[in-house]
Structure formats: structure tokens, C-alpha cells
Homo-oligomer: A and B are copies of this chain.
Amino acid sequence: MLHEDVVSRIRAILLDGEIPPGARIPERELCERLGISRTPLREALKVLAAEGLVQLLPHRGSRAAKLTDNDMRDLFEVCQGLEALAGELACERITDAEIDAIAAAHAAMVEHYRDGDLIQYYRGNRAIHEAIVTAAGNPVLAGLYTSVTARIRRARYVTPMTPQRWALAVKEHEAILNALQRRDGAGLSHILRAHLRHKREEVLQAGFAETEGNDLTLRIA
């Protein structure tokens, strides 16, 4: 197994919450499970620690990182900045075909909204945001975006929404698509920031920080 694969698999385990935030990471167990020895595992853990997903405690092993309310605020702020930038760049560089694809994804997402299918709605939602970042055509930006969004993914795409908030989010997405189609970078940037600000308020108000005994996975259902 390649180094990057080891990193990816552990990342997936952490993001799925299989090892919940704050829990110790059992080296021996993970080694057996992945069929590797401790050396490559520990290399991967150090990389994930640099990413912020893992916390290393000298001589006391590693734990899945736990996000405080402050961390959440900081990450959402940065995410806003990155998406705003992506929106502007995307408007300069996006192709008609890419716009069409996003329009289709948007339509599908609205369908899921009409069906009241939050899981599928969130899936489509995420695809749209990622497509915009991809359309920005900046791999460095895409990389940072991936890493930052990974850390807030569960909060962002798991929070239950009130009907009002959901309706607002859909409206905002109409505006996002609209700005994209008009290639209005400043406008898109502005809407994306508002959109994410609202999402952040939702998440923080819902008390979704990964504090003791706040198991997000339980709320997915």
C-alpha cells in the first residue's frame, strides 16, 4: 500500500467518525487492520497531524482532533475566504460546459429539496461547491479547500435545518447559480460568503462543536 493511500484511509476513518473526535488512536489495532507496520502508520499520523485532523501528544500517542467552537469559527471563516476567492476565479475561467454541469447539479439538488431528502440534498450541495472550486482552476486553492472543508464536513453537512433555513439556503443557491451564469465574480463571491456565514451561524447555534459527548454521527439519521 502506498503512503498516500495509508493517509487517505486513516483520514476516511477519522472523517467517518469511526474514531470519534478526542478518542485515542490505537496504533496496534490500525496496523493490523491496514496490514502495515507501525513505521508507515506513524508517518501517516504525522501528516494528518499537520493537516489538523490528528493531535500528537508527546510520549502519549495521538488522538483524533477535537474541534472547539473557536476552531469551528476559524475554519468557517477561512472557508468563506477560500470559496469567495474560488467564486471570483471561477467566473473568470469557467467553461460553458462546466456551467451547464453545475446547473444540472443544481436542478437535481432542488429536486431533493422538494422531496425533503436532506442526505441527498447535502450530497448535491457539496458537489456544487466543489465544482465551483474546481472551476477556479487553481490546484493550490483546491488543496487548501479540501483540507479545510474536511475538518468541518461533519458539522457542515450533518446539521439538521429548520424549514426556513433550508428554504433560504436553496434561495441562496439560486443566486449562486445565477451569478455563475452571468460570470459575475464579485456577486458570486458575495453570495458565497453570505451563504457560508449563514451555515456557520446554524452550526454554531446548534452547538455542533466537537465537545465531550457530542456525537455528531448520532444525529445523521
Judge if A50 is at the interface, Cβ distance under 8 Å: yes
Judge if A23 is at the interface, Cβ distance under 8 Å: no
A102: min CB distance to chain B, Å: 21
Question: Which residue of the partner chain B has the closest CB to A58?
Answer: B2
Judge if A138 is at the interface, Cβ distance under 8 Å: yes
Judge if A43 is at the interface, Cβ distance under 8 Å: yes
Set of chain B residues within 8 Å of A18, measured between Cβ atoms:
none
Tell me which of A80-88, A106-114, A116-124, A167-175 binds B: A80-88
Alpha-carbon separation in the docked complex, A168 to B9 (Å)? 49
Tell me which of A26-34, A69-77, A176-184 binds B: A69-77
Interface residue from B71, B138, B144 paired with A144 (Cβ < 8 Å)? B144
Judge if A42 is at the interface, Cβ distance under 8 Å: yes
Judge if A213 is at the interface, Cβ distance under 8 Å: no
Alpha-carbon separation in the docked complex, A159 to B148 (Å)? 31
Judge if A39 is at the interface, Cβ distance under 8 Å: yes
Judge if A78 is at the interface, Cβ distance under 8 Å: yes
Set of chain B residues within 8 Å of A77, measured between Cβ atoms:
85, 89, 138, 140-141
Interface residue from B43, B71, B85 paired with A81 (Cβ < 8 Å)? B85
Alpha-carbon separation in the docked complex, A85 to B74 (Å)? 12
Bitwise interface map of A from 137 to 170 toward B, beta carbon under 8 Å scored 1, else 0: 0111101100010000000000000000000000
| Residues of A near any B CB (own CB < 8 A) | 2-3, 39, 42-44, 46-47, 50-52, 56, 58, 71, 74-75, 77-78, 80-82, 84-85, 89, 138-141, 143-144, 148
